[in-house]
């Protein structure tokens, strides 16, 4: 039982530490970390980090559901699956500690310019699609 609990407690502590480290934007600590990591890793020409947690059954101000829009040269010639894997692995810590939904739009600058640049919100957790 203790063994089961231990990783959770440790995880919680490190999340707290991370929260403290990122007090620059105290209201959105995880959003800020995600933004910084993506910025550093992909030097994106366009970056959006959207907190979609309000659409789900979680407390107000929660940071559990995110959508990220990353437009970067680094995605050139890479398949969609590979691009998503890059973003997922970059944010694997966050995904294991609190963030449980991550929707990804990963485009190259030319794909982004050719698109309508409208990113639709993700479906609601409960009762999506007119239910």
Residues that bind another protein (CB under 8 A): 80-81, 84-85, 88, 92, 95-96, 100-105, 122-126, 128-129, 131
Tokens of 12: 């919680």
* Contact between 67 and 52 (Cβ < 8 Å): yes
Our CB check for another protein shows the closer of 45 and 103 to be 103
Our CB check for another protein shows the closer of 26 and 121 to be 121
* Contact between 91 and 56 (Cβ < 8 Å): no
Length of the chain equals: 131
Residue 26 beta carbon to another protein: minimum distance, rounded to whole angstroms: 26
Residue 105 beta carbon to another protein: minimum distance, rounded to whole angstroms: 7
Our CB check for another protein shows the closer of 2 and 23 to be 2
Distance between alpha carbon 51 and the CA centroid of its chain, in Å?
8
Packing angle of the helix pair 80-90, 29-42 (nearest 10 deg): 130
Residue 23 beta carbon to another protein: minimum distance, rounded to whole angstroms: 26
Residue 68 beta carbon to another protein: minimum distance, rounded to whole angstroms: 10
Please give the Cα distance from 38 to 44 (Å, whole number): 8
């Amino acid at each position: 039982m203790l063994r089961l609990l231990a990783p959770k407690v440790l995880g919680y502590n490190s999340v707290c530490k991370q929260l403290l480290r990122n007090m620059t934007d105290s209201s959105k600590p995880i959003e800020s970390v995600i933004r910084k990591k993506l910025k550093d890793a992909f030097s994106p020409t366009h970056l959006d980090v959207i907190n979609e947690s309000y659409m789900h059954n979680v407390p107000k101000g929660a940071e559990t559901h995110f959508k990220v829009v990353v437009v970067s040269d680094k995605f050139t010639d890479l398949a969609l699956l590979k691009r998503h894997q890059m973003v997922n692995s970059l944010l694997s810590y966050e995904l294991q500690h609190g963030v449980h939904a991550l929707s990804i739009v990963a485009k190259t600058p030319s794909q982004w310019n050719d698109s309508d640049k409208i990113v639709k919100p993700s479906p609601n957790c409960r009762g999506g699609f007119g239910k």
